[in-house]
Amino acid sequence: MRKKKILLLSGGVGGAKLADGFAQILPATDLIIAVNTGDDFQHLGLSISPDLDSVTYMLAGLASAERGWGRSDETWSCIETLRRIDSETWFQLGDRDLALHLHRSMKLARGTSLEVVTAEIASKLGVRHKIVPMTEAPVRTIIESYAERYSFQEYFVRLQCRPQMTGYRYEGARWATPSHGLLEALHDPELAGIMIAPSNPILSIGPILAIPTVRDAIEKTTVPVVGVSPIIKGAAIKGPAAKILQELNIGASAGAVAQFYGDLLDHFIVHPDDAGAPWSSNAKRHVADILMQSEEDRRRVAHSCLALLDIT
């Protein structure tokens, strides 16, 4: 049997870029993108799925390159009105983005699964490749800062990641099961490889791996597992990953991230600036330019990942 399918585990911005790279070069039948939902929350009565939306917008060609989140060509009439009436405005919702949240909330309230709603939205926006949530269960990332506890969005958006992170947990993960699409992909006989995007290992990939069935399947898989570093020369490519890794005493380096993933990894791609850095992971280190600032860059990194697979 010809193995040709790729499963990508993804968070938001960095994961969305690699997802787009794969989507540019792989047929729709050969790629499934399983996205973190530990960031999901209820806001203003709406069901918000930030990472799912980031991946969907990127593959639809609608992502805002200027902000790094949300939609391009956005307008802000709703948030301006909320501000005028002294409502909650700390989580920025653009008008076009708001329409998606309204639709999702309505469909979920009627009993439609998050996986089906995600697929419908993606299809209507012109996305051909399969995007699935990691689970239908309410897994929520909680940030610990000494005696304080913060929901993910409160920590990440409202507090701008300022509190020192001393711990974290994924509420509900222990009892969660993978979404139908993710479980199917993990056990697909045509699966050629599992990719771990250069997303935050604690906040974006960690919740996916915290689902016992997912981690168990990856530990037992016989296909290569390839990761891409979110860290270059001690700094995060995007976001607070380096700060968080330092605060948790994991270490802000490509090697530390590979060590964090442990025996799940077979291969880990690092930037040339990290080619000679200390390395203690059992994963094989590969060197490539992993910066993704353009469509061509995203294709290049995707090709670097695929080159490590024996696709026959």
Q: Give the model confidence (pLDDT) of 209-267 as tens digits.
A: 999 999 999 999 999 999 999 999 999 988 899 999 999 999 999 999 999 999 999 99
Terminal Cα-to-Cα distance of the chain (whole angstroms):
8
Residue 119's Cβ-side half-sphere holds a number of Cα atoms within 13 Å equal to 13
CB 118 within 8 A of CB 184: no
- Domains of the chain by residue range: 5-306
SS3 88: coil
pLDDT above 90 coverage of the chain, percent: 92
Q: What is each CA distance from 111 to 106, 115, 136, 181, in whole angstroms?
A: 9, 12, 12, 18
Indicate the angle between helix axes 295-306 and 13-25, nearest 10 degrees: 80
Q: What is the pTM of this model?
A: 0.96
Strand partners, 225: 194
Q: What digits encode the pLDDT tens for the residues 78-108?
A: 999 999 999 999 999 999 999 999 999 999 9
pLDDT value of residue 312: 47
Q: What is the mean pLDDT of the chain?
A: 95
Q: Which CATH number fits domain 5-306: 3.30.70.890, 3.40.50.10680, 3.40.50.10310, 3.40.640.10?
A: 3.40.50.10680
Give the number of other CB atoms < 10 A from CB of residue 167.
12
Mean pLDDT value of segment 179-186:
98
